[in-house]
């Protein structure tokens, strides 16, 4: 018999969905606040929850064997001070459509001049300026995992050319050309849009720095719905303020919430959202836990296992 602890801000929803799956050999307890856990919860051998909440109680979960994260990013659980004597799996394969909505929503808004057209509408002023089009534009993806592959597939619907920058893999058929290693500046040099969706690792932190930004065409737009750690925010703000970039759409930041004094807030060519590009919906995430639990019972390897050293 396995005992499952569900620990999430949306614990009630997750609990209901897991119960509906009628999984055998499983008892459950659930909480929205780590501080409110009953003593018996710490006897759980399985955990399904938000990484930030799970990290707070992990040292007290002596018998934990497996943690299924509700997020794609598991940074709170990668703290070197925390234990690593368990299997950690994350959420993958479910965020691609949501990320596509976010990225292409802002790309289309830029091309079709949606905000500018609305401003002229408010002024009751006819604006005959022609919009742009995504057709034929060059999209660059830093990271081509499941999310990157979804973006590449959507780009092909709009007739875009897709370049991918990855550590090594070249598995996505919708990417026209791949770049690796020292080819980063060559990769960005002819892009219309640069989108960062790589994981937070030692290799990706600060990857988009002043040097990389200086090689982007001045007409390019940078979109970051992935990890705030990938970009040098000071260099980005300077490039945007000086017209070295046409614009940016930013959902994630080095420190969140973004400080009120950050110059990014007031730049006219920046759109800021608050880490909401692709949130975890329980109805999307629960099937990942259910499928992995069935694999656990069958003695099969769990899917989407995180390598603690690589960080994903």
Would you please indicate which residues are annotated as catalytic (active-site) residues?
Answer: 227, 256, 275
Q: 263-277 burial by CB neighbour count: b if 16+ within 10 A, else e?
A: ebeebeebbeeeeeb
Q: Half-sphere exposure of residue 85, counting CA atoms within 13 Å on the CB side?
A: 10
d(CA 194, CA 163): 9
d(CA 163, CA 191): 9
- Which two structure tokens, joined as six digits, stand for 87? 């299997």
Residue showing tokens 């292409």:
104
Torsional sign, CA 112, 177, 151, 225:
negative
d(CA 234, CA 262): 9
d(CA 44, CA 41): 6
């Amino acid at each position: 018999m396995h005992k499952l602890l569900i620990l999430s801000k949306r614990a009630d929803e997750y609990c209901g969905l897991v119960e509906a799956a009628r999984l055998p050999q499983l008892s459950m307890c659930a909480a929205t606040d780590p501080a409110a856990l009953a003593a018996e919860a710490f006897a759980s051998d399985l955990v399904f929850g938000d990484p930030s909440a799970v990290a707070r109680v992990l040292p007290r979960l002596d018998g934990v064997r497996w943690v299924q994260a509700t997020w794609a990013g598991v940074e709170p659980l990668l703290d070197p001070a925390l234990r690593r004597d368990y299997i950690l799996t994350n959420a993958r394969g479910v965020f691609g459509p949501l990320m596509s909505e976010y990225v292409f929503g802002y790309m289309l808004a830029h091309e079709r001049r949606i905000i500018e057209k609305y401003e002229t509408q408010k002024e009751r002023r006819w604006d005959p300026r022609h919009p742009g089009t995504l057709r034929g534009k060059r999209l660059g993806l830093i990271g081509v995992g499941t999310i990157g592959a979804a973006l590449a597939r959507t780009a092909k619907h709009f007739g875009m050319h897709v370049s991918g920058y990855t550590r090594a893999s070249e598995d996505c058929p919708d990417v026209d050309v791949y770049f690796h290693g020292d080819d980063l500046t060559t990769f960005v040099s002819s892009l219309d849009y640069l989108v960062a969706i790589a994981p937070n690792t030692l290799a990706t932190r600060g990857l988009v720095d002043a040097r990389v930004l200086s090689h982007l065409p001045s007409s390019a737009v940078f979109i970051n719905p992935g990890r705030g750690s990938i970009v040098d925010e000071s260099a980005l703000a300077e490039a945007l303020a000086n017209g070295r970039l046409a614009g940016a759409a930013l959902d994630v930041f080095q420190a969140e919430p973004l400080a009120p004094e950050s110059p990014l807030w007031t730049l006219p060519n920046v759109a800021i959202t608050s880490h909401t590009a692709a949130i975890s919906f329980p109805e999307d995430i629960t099937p990942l836990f259910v499928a992995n639990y069935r694999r656990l019972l069958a003695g099969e390897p769990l899917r989407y296992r995180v390598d603690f050293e690589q960080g994903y």
